[in-house]
Structure 1
Amino acid sequence: MLVAAIDFGTTYSGWVFSFKHEYDTDPTTIAGGQMVSMKSPTTVLIKPDAKTFDSFGYEAETRNSEFASDDNNEHKKWYYFRRFKMMLHGKMGLDRNIDIEDETQKPLLAKTVFSLVIHRLSSGHIKEDEITWVLTVPAIWTDAAKQFMREAAVEAGIKNDNLKISLEPETASIFCRLLPVEKNDRRRRNGFFQAGISIHGVGCWR
């Protein structure tokens, strides 16, 4: 059994995974996706046909810069999105077939953009039935926005029964509970926080 988590961030995104036997030994043991770093900029370049993925992260930034440096205006036909996640906040209602605008104000169906990125972050492993996927979302999002993310993930190829939507602060809190903590005698141990110890979460939204 494998659990894979996708962090679809406002500025940076990435994915990690953990095998059950590794979790049983050390719950904080995780491995990252095959990227240059553990996270890449939440930036995607989509081809002019408005449905074909071209590149993501640092590669998308580089390719867009190269296109923009050309003398012709071909790059204006491409769709370049960056830091677009929070465009859903306050905009998502009962109708989830909404458009979002790229960096040059060209509209594109939001679900297409999000599903292409989720498919990229899943790195082609979405056909594995034994993978449980966890997709994190902001706590301030409405139920409609959370459902939108689920539908985008399913459109990307992840089975609905294999997908769990998790609130970002709750996920961070659970992870913090599993980190090593110091006892009064300064020796370290692994395990859950004991009764009487409180956990405070501080979030930063950009």
Structure 2
Amino acid sequence: MISKALTLGKFDHIASNTNLLVAAIDFGTTYSGWAISFKHEYKSNPTKVSGKHYYGGRVASLKAPTKILIQPDGRTFDSFGYEAEDKYIELTRKGGHENWYYFSRFKMMLYEKTGLTRNIKLEDETHKQLVAKTVFALAIRYLKDEMLKESQNQLTSEQLKEEDINWVLTVPAIWNDAAKQFMREAAVKVG
């Protein structure tokens, strides 16, 4: 869990050691997503949680496939989830997909790696390699940015700041400390 306990400044009506909302990113092996719970809503209805709906074909879900498409430069995010899946299929039909990086169900690659280091590389679907921390950071950034956009849409009069958020990032209990630390560092890399 990544957590910040910061003073909320203009949200003086909230206790100074709490946040305006809790944001959870569930970075799953097969599917990933996020959920938020605002403090004021939690007080009146603890089960009120918001998340993004992802659509792929005839499927609607609160999670998207853990798939990411990265542009040929190896640093620029292109798409995630169903959108990454669809775009990669289209690239393969047209040709030219060989230069793109497409990672599918890559989370457990951390668990399967022996001798995990900060610069370890992952292989994409066509066996090209990228630094794993870059792949994870781009995926986490996408989920984070989507969550921030939705959270801001739910606020009408206040501007949401990142310090207003208590962040939670899930990691498998079966992971060793090195894999958990790797995931923490990837999350910190994106703020």
- Do both share a fold (TM > 0.5)? yes
- Distance in 1, matches of 2:128 and 2:62, equals 30
Does 1:15 find its partner at 2:58? no
Match of 1:112 among 122, 130, 134: 134
**Alignment-derived partner of residue 7 in structure 2:** none
Query: CA RMSD for the aligned pairs?
Result: 1.7
Deviation at 1:23, TM superposition (A): 1.7
- Distance in 2, matches of 1:92 and 1:112, equals 19
**Alignment-derived partner of residue 8 in structure 2:** none
**Alignment-derived partner of residue 12 in structure 2:** none
Deviation at 1:94, TM superposition (A): 5.8
**Alignment-derived partner of residue 57 in structure 1:** 81
Amino acid aligned to 1:109: V
Deviation at 1:128, TM superposition (A): 1.7
**SS state of the match for residue 138, structure 2?**
helix
Unaligned residue ranges in structure 2 (runs of 5+): 1-19, 56-60, 150-160
Shift >6 Å, 4+ stretches: none
Larger radius of gyration: 1
Count of equivalent residues: 155
Does 1:76 find its partner at 2:98? yes
**Alignment-derived partner of residue 204 in structure 1:** none
Deviation at 1:123, TM superposition (A): 1.9
- Distance in 2, matches of 1:16 and 1:133, equals 10
Deviation at 1:22, TM superposition (A): 1.7
What TM-score does the superposition give when structure 2 sets the normalisation length? 0.76
What TM-score does the superposition give when structure 1 sets the normalisation length? 0.71
- Name the CA shift for 1:3/1:92 in 2 (closer, same or farther; >3 Å): farther
**SS state of the match for residue 35, structure 2?**
strand
Q: What is the correspondence of 1:1-206 to structure 2 with a 5 Å cutoff?
A: 1-33=20-52, 35-36=54-55, 37-70=61-94, 72=95, 74-91=96-113, 93=115, 95-123=117-145, 125=148, 128-157=162-191
**SS state of the match for residue 18, structure 1?**
strand
**SS state of the match for residue 133, structure 1?**
strand
Q: What fraction of aligned residue pairs are identical, expressed as a percent?
A: 63
- Distance in 1, matches of 2:85 and 2:54, equals 14
